[in-house]
Amino acid sequence: MAKVFISHKNTDSLLAKKVAGRVQYNGLNTYLDTIDDLLIKDGPDLADHLLRRMSECDQLIAVVSQQTMNSWWVPWEIGVGSEKSFRMASFSRSSVSLPSYLKKWPELHTDQDVDLYCKFSKATERSVSGQLREAFSPERRTRIVKQGAESFHRTLMTRLSRGY
């Protein structure tokens, strides 16, 4: 099942909790990072912690505000999510001047926007799962192996007939 990483600056924790709650209300799991006091609040330990948590997710909603511009971690998390081909969106309650790179993904502003995100997420999950089942089905594997063998035979026979 899909799991959404809720990226946010700690000053936006309340709004991030509301977004996470709305996503959960729509039947998707979330990970909302509240930094463990045992971790160092910055640096390699935090990066490793976030990478572990993000590896459990396949989506990201970045909660953005004017304070996000002063964050190093939110853009870092967006970069990790982008590299992992996460389904992504940004969420803000007010008009925030987003950097151009964030305009690549949908902008959410209301609970209804989050509902629609979740609806599309679930539909996409079903579609991708079906395509993966098809791609890795025994019939598909057999077809791929057979095509590979046929190509091998043709190529080798051609090279042998030419005398290398």
Q: Which CATH architecture has domain 3-136?
A: 3-Layer(aba) Sandwich (3.40)
Statement: the pTM of the whole predicted model exceeds 0.85: no
Residue 45: both structure tokens together: 């330990």
Residue 91 and residue 64: Cα distance in Å, rounded? 6
Residue 15 and residue 63: Cα distance in Å, rounded? 8
State CA 157 to chain mean position distance. Answer: 46
| CA geometry: angle 161, 162, 164, nearest 5 deg | 105
Paired with 32 in beta bridges are: 6
How many other C-beta atoms lie within 10 A of the C-beta of residue 110?
Answer: 11
Tens digits of residue pLDDT in 71-116? 889 999 999 999 999 999 999 987 778 778 888 899 899 999 999 9
- The pairs formed by 46-52 with CB atoms below 8 angstroms and a separation of 24 or more are 46/73, 47/76, 50/76, 50/77, 50/80, 51/80
Average pLDDT, the chain: 87
Tens digits of residue pLDDT in 44-72? 788 888 899 999 999 999 999 988 888 88
